[in-house]
Structure 1
Amino acid sequence: MFAAITFISGLLFGLGLAFSEMTNPAVVIGFLNIFGDWNPSLIIVMASAIAVGMLGYAIKNKKVKPWIAKEWQVPSLKHIDAKLLIGSSLFGIGWGLSGYCPGPGLTALVNNPSEGMYFIAALVIGSGIHFIQMRVTQK
Structure 2
Amino acid sequence: MKTLLNLIWLVLSGFWLFLGYLLAGVLMCVLIITIPWGIAAFRIGVYALWPFGYTTVQRRDAGAASFLGNVIWFLLAGWWLAIGHIVTGIALCVTIIGIPFGIANFKLIPVSLVPLGREIVRTDQPFATR
Going by fraction, where is strand more abundant, 1 or 2? 2
Structure with larger Rg? 1
> Would the TM-score normalized by the shorter structure come out above 0.5?
no
Q: TM-score if structure 2 supplies the norm length?
A: 0.36
Larger RCO (alpha carbons 8 Å, 6+ apart): 2
TM-score w.r.t. the length of structure 1 is 0.35
